[in-house]
Amino acid sequence: MRQPKITVFMAAYNQADFIGKSIDSILTQSFSDFELVVVNDGSTDNTATIVESFNDNRIRLVHNDGNKGLVYTRNRLLTLAQGEYIAILDADDIAYPDRLKLQHNFLLANPEIALCGGHAAIIDEHNHKTGGKLIVPVDNVDLFMLFGNPFVNSTTMFKTSVFIELNGYQNYSISEDFDLFIRMAEKYKVTNLNEIFVDYRVHGNNTSTLNLDTRLANERKIIRHLQERIGLPYNERWLSLHIELFNWTLVKKHLNNYLLLFHELKLANNISKRYNQETVNRFFFNKWMEVLISNQINALTLKWYFKHELFQSAYFNFKKFRKALKNSIKQLLS
């Protein structure tokens, strides 16, 4: 039997309410050379029955011996995936009809890219669009990882060979996808396409919502690793500030400390050369601007925008200056 180009993977645990629409969205793709691997992680509802109701030989339903969790379930891809590429779709999300075609064509035309994703539109538990979107960065995606996960997991497609080379997902429950993407970016090029690929469902049973403490603990480990990779020695103060920036839980009295952290990261990269220095300088300046105009900070004076640690005149165009000036005046008059 000829191997498919793409293995679409769905981890399923008690997703009877949603998995039917998710499977439909794959079976109706404009790109048809795929297999759909669904791993039932010990569901206690009729998830498996719904999967079995589809009469399509491209579907492979595999059962775990009980509820093993996401890391174990996703790592079954190490032996199950037959495609050249792996496309992830969570069992409660819905893929757009051209999703597989667009990503496959892009990766085929850009063999140096190991991983690509895209944007998502948000829907609720009743399949209604909320109007919200998950807009991901399409430039400097690897650098963006310092301050957030730049990928919507259900939009990602990556090379099976790279996944196997990196030994799949590691024990970073809830953040295992982010950890994998970081390890991919450390060896290969990664990016996002400027396309909406899925409807991303938000509901009370989202895994990340139910396991917040676990996610935060693992994000802390990941951020420490990222600091080490750029060459910043372990320092609890820098780590705590970095976590605030990562989760966008900014504290106004920490403003000067955020500036110093950006500066320390910049100096560390000067030595490690982990990222292109010019790109880092511009990226940190733009991130600093975002901090200053955020609702949590609302910097009152223009002096913050011209701090020598980050400021370079080439980065501060008129549009940014006008925005900074408008923000400062607004705060002073309020």
pLDDT digits (tens, 9 = 90+) for 114-160: 999 999 999 999 999 999 999 999 999 999 999 999 999 999 999 99
Which tokens is 91 given? 């069992």
Q: H/E element holding 72?
A: helix 70-74
Weakest-pLDDT range from 57-61, 96-100, 295-299:
295-299
pLDDT digits (tens, 9 = 90+) for 3-20: 999 999 999 999 999 999
> Where do the H-state alpha helices sit in 190-317?
207-210, 212-230, 236-247, 255-272, 277-293
Pairing of strands 94-95, 189-201: antiparallel
Pairing of strands 59-63, 85-88: unpaired
User: 14: closest CA among 122, 91, 129?
Assistant: 91
Q: Is the pLDDT of residue 299 over 80?
A: no
What whole-number distance in Å separates Cα of residue 306 and Cα of residue 304?
6
Tokens found for residue 278: 């010019």
Please report which confidence band the pLDDT of residue 302 belongs to, taking 50, 70 and 90 as the band edges: confident
With a CB cutoff of 8 Å and minimum separation 6, the contacts of 272 are 229, 230, 231
Predicted local confidence at residue 297, as pLDDT: 81
205 vs 81: CA distance, rounded Å: 27
For 176-232, write each residue's pLDDT tens digit. 999 999 999 999 999 999 999 999 999 766 555 557 788 888 999 999 999 999 999
pTM, 2 dp? 0.91
Hey, which bits of 45-144 come out as E strands?
A: 59-63, 85-88, 94-95, 113-123, 129-134
Structural domain boundaries of the chain?
6-210, 231-333
Of 227, 240, 248, nearest in space to 291 by CA: 248
- Find out whether 146 and 224 touch, Cβ atoms under 8 Å: no
Contacts for 239 with CB less than 8 Å, ≥ 6 apart: 220, 223, 224, 227
With cut-offs at 50, 70 and 90, classify the pLDDT of residue 304.
confident
Report which of 287, 302, 288, 292 is spatially closest to residue 332, judged by C-alpha positions: 302
Select from 3.30.930.10, 3.30.360.10, 3.10.20.740, 3.90.550.10 the CATH code of 6-210. Answer: 3.90.550.10
